[in-house]
Amino acid sequence: MNTDGMNTASMPRPRLLPYPSPVARPFWDATRRHELVMQWCDTCRYHVFYPRATCPRCGRTELSWRSVSGSGRIYTYTVARRATHRAFAERVPYVVAIVELDEGPHLTTEIVGTDPNTVKIGARVIVEFEDHADISVPVFRPLITERVE
Partner 1 sequence: MRSSLRGAAALVGLAETAPVRDTGDHTDLSLAAEVATAAVNDAGLDLTEVDGLLTHPMGVVSRLVPSTVAEALGLRLSYADSVDLGGATAVGMVWRAAAAVLSGMCSICLCVTAVPRPADATALGGPSRRTTDRSPAREFEVPYGNVGATEGYAMIAQRYEHEFGCTAGQRAKIAVQQRENAARHPHAFFRGKPLTAEEVLGSEMIADPLRKLEMVLPTGGASAVVVTRRQIAARLTQSPVLVLGAGEAITHKSITYAPQLTTSAIRASADRAFEMAGIGREQVNVASVYDCYTITALMTLEDAGFCAKGEGAAFVDEHDLRWSGDFPVNTNGGQLSFGQADVVGGMSHVTESVLQLQARAPGRQVEGAEIAFVNGNGGIMSEQSSVILAVGG
List of residues contacting partner 1 (CB under 8 A) = 15-21, 24, 50, 52, 75-89, 91, 94, 96-98, 106-110, 121, 137, 139
Residue 24 or residue 44: which is nearer to partner 1 going by CB? 24
Residue 80 or residue 126: which is nearer to partner 1 going by CB? 80
Distances (CA, A) of 47 to 32, 55, 58, 88, 91: 20, 9, 13, 30, 31
To the nearest whole angstrom, how small is the minimum distance from the Cβ of residue 116 to partner 1?
8
CA-to-CA distance for 94 and 73, rounded, in angstroms?
18
To the nearest whole angstrom, how small is the minimum distance from the Cβ of residue 8 to partner 1?
20
Three-state helix/strand/coil letters over 44-113: CCEEECCCCCCCCCCCCCCEEEEECCCEEEEEEEEEECCCCCHHHHHHCCEEEEEEEECCCCEEEEEECC
Residue 11 or residue 17: which is nearer to partner 1 going by CB? 17
Residue 52 or residue 124: which is nearer to partner 1 going by CB? 52
To the nearest whole angstrom, how small is the minimum distance from the Cβ of residue 104 to partner 1?
12
